[in-house]
Amino acid sequence: MTYFAPEQNCIDRTDFHFKHQKNLYHGKVRDVYDLGEHLLMITTDRISAFDCILPRPIPYKGQVLNLIAAHFLEKVKDIVPVWLQSLPDPNVSLGLKCEPIPIEFVVRGYLAGHAWRCYKKGESLCGLNFAPGLKESQKLDRPILSPTTKAAAGHDMDISYEQLIAQGIISKSLLDEIYAIAFSLFRRGTEMAAERDLILVDTKYEFGLVNGEIVLMDEIHTPDSSRYYIKTGYEERLANSEPQLQLSKEFVREWLMAHGFFGKEEDLMPEMPDSFVHEISERYLLLYEKLTGKKINTESAEVPIDRLRKNLSEFLI
């Protein structure tokens, strides 16, 4: 695989001016252009962990996220309407502008990541308690949903089902409907992962409203929003208390923690060597291939930002 310098081979940030543009929001990973009734969302090659944007972009990461999200959004239209309407570019999604529900709905089927860290400390998660004696990465008796508040900046915060209703963030009837949809989406994602020798460990969903109807927003079942294990050998690794083979962003968090960064204000962000940037990119490309059975062309000499500008020319002023 040939890599160029990230400055040449990555889309780190965009500042386009489109027809009918009303606003531009630079998120942790996506640049979101408000075009009135529609949103044009550019998935950049930025990468975040612990709600912090890391200092270097990752080649092909934006394509992987955008194309995986589109792949899965197409597969769940029978469960819930989705916001996506078209893909003008491998890094771009165009779709409906929704009234966002300010909650991330995290569905967990296994004791891993944040849930495991809470468990080790003896803490509950969103008011949910786990049985004693569980191992890291162990499958739960049934999937759970641990919501978080959706922060515009800084860290998202865990919140319980009861707190969401008590604080008037969402009505009980709407919350119950979204819970049912989220569990259905997780079942579909689990089935599709199993077909590819993967385990969908946990994932997050975001929803909005269009004319009062629930619509699935943002990315789904991507390595940024989900954690995957390799299915083959899972039981053996669990029995031997060995780390699971992951296809997710957790290894990035683990690398940061090993270098003394936990997302706190006083923590110093470590420098990312070329070798680690390339490793992240390769893992994202592998997950795309594992999940979809397709490959992304990494041999093109076209500079991504030039390709992006060309493919979006009809939207430009």
Residue 51: the pLDDT is 86
Place of tokens 């490959």: 295
Instruction: Indicate the fold that domain 100-239 takes in CATH.
Output: D-amino Acid Aminotransferase; Chain A, domain 1 (3.30.470)
CA distances, 303 to each of 6, 10, 29, 205, 300 (Å):
11, 8, 19, 32, 8
Taking residues 47-66, what's their average pLDDT?
A: 93
1's tokens: 């695989």
Report d(CA 53, CA 190) in Å as an integer.
Answer: 29
Taking residues 49-71, what's their average pLDDT?
A: 93
Coil, strand, or helix at residue 83? coil
CA distances, 119 to each of 125, 149, 263 (Å):
8, 20, 20
Taking residues 228-233, what's their average pLDDT?
A: 95
Taking residue 269's Cβ as centre, other Cβ atoms within 10 Å add up to: 16
Region of 264 please: left (phi>0), alpha (psi -120 to 50) or beta. Answer: beta
Report d(CA 29, CA 39) in Å as an integer.
Answer: 15
The residues spanned by each domain of the chain are 6-98+252-315, 100-239
Contact 111, 130 (CB under 8 A): yes
Share of the chain above pLDDT 90, in %: 85
Residue 155: the pLDDT is 58
Strands (E), the chain: 23-26, 30-34, 38-43, 48-49, 52-53, 84-89, 92-96, 99-100, 103-110, 139-149, 198-210, 213-217, 226-230
Residue 151: the pLDDT is 61
Report d(CA 132, CA 110) in Å as an integer.
Answer: 14
In single-letter form, the type of residue at position 195 comes to: E
| pLDDT per residue as tens digits for the range 116-139 | 999 999 999 999 999 999 999 999
Check pLDDT > 80 for residue 240: yes
In 3-state terms, the chain is what percent helix, strand and coil (to 5)? 30, 25, 45
Check pLDDT > 80 for residue 14: yes
Contacts of 104 (CB under 8 A, 6+ apart): 147, 148, 149, 150, 156, 204, 205, 206
Contact 149, 135 (CB under 8 A): no
Query: Domain 6-98+252-315 is classified in which CATH homologous superfamily?
Result: Phosphorylase Kinase; domain 1 (3.30.200.20)
DSSP string for residues in 190-244: HHHHHTTTEEEEEEEEEEEEETTEEEEES--SSTTTEEEEESTTHHHHHHTTPPP
